[in-house]
């Protein structure tokens, strides 16, 4: 997937998890919220921590620490939720902090798949004034099987 060709500039939302800086494309971000309590969701895929109620909509919380093999930790009051839209659904990402919105020019980015094939959850790697940024590929956070399992778990929770 090459999100960078034929585009001069894109906006990214920079966020932190431990030390590395990550980003999502602004077009995928719906809202940034303060962290709230997560309700466990029985039978959900391992990468799903649970769900939250966002304005009456039940949204799964993706444990991106698990995806990126970072140390697990409890949610802190200062943590933030990024509510983002995949092609299938809204999801919540728990992050340490959101560091702002930045313009990203094509020449600042390399395709992660071509240069670093082990980066299955990244679409690109960029250099900005703050250093290296790992641009996440939100569509790859849940496999098709995990999507199906999540759909079943969400349906069962509504009963």
Domain chopping of the chain, boundaries: 9-158
Closest by CA position to 79, among listed 66, 90, 68, 65: 65
Q: For position 155, what pLDDT does the model report?
A: 86
Q: Which parts of 30-83 fold into alpha helices (H)?
A: 64-67
What was the pLDDT predicted at 31? 95
What per-residue confidence (pLDDT) applies to 2?
46
Phi, psi of 155 (to 5 degrees): -65, -45
DSSP structural state of residue 108: G
What is the separation, in whole angstroms, between the first and last Cα of the chain?
38
Helix, strand or coil for residue 122?
strand
pLDDT score of 113 = 61
pLDDT of residue 69: 86
Full strand arrangement of the beta sheet holding 9-16: 97-105, 9-16, 21-25, 131-136, 122-128, 109-111
Nearest to 131 by CA among 113, 110, 108: 108
Helix (H, G, I), strand (E, B) or coil at 64: helix
| Structure token pair of residue 49 | 């921590």
Nearest residue to 122 via CA among 104, 140, 98: 140
Res 128: pLDDT: 83
- Tell which CATH architecture fits domain 9-158: Beta Barrel (2.40)
* pLDDT given at position 1: 41
Beta bridge partners of 111: 124
Which of helix, strand or coil describes residue 65?
helix
Q: Indicate the pTM of the whole model.
A: 0.84
Give, for all 159 residues of the chain, the pLDDT tens digit. 444 444 567 899 999 988 778 999 999 999 999 999 999 999 999 999 999 999 999 999 999 998 888 898 888 889 999 999 999 899 999 999 999 998 888 767 767 666 565 578 888 888 888 788 888 899 989 888 889 999 898 888 776
């Amino acid at each position: 997937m090459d999100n960078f060709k034929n585009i001069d500039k894109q906006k990214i939302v920079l966020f932190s998890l431990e030390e590395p800086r990550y980003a999502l494309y602004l077009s995928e971000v719906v809202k940034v919220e303060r962290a709230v309590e997560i309700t466990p969701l029985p039978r959900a895929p391992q990468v799903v921590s649970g769900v939250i109620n966002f304005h009456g909509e039940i949204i799964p919380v993706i444990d991106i620490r698990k995806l990126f093999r970072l140390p697990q930790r409890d949610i802190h009051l200062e943590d933030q939720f990024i509510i983002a839209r995949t092609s299938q659904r809204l999801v919540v990402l728990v992050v340490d902090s959101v560091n702002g919105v930045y313009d990203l020019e094509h020449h600042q980015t390399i395709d992660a798949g071509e240069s670093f094939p082990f980066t299955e959850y990244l679409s690109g790697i960029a250099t900005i004034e703050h250093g290296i940024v790992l641009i996440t590929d939100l569509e790859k956070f849940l496999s098709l099987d995990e999507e199906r399992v999540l759909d079943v778990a969400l349906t069962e929770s509504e009963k």
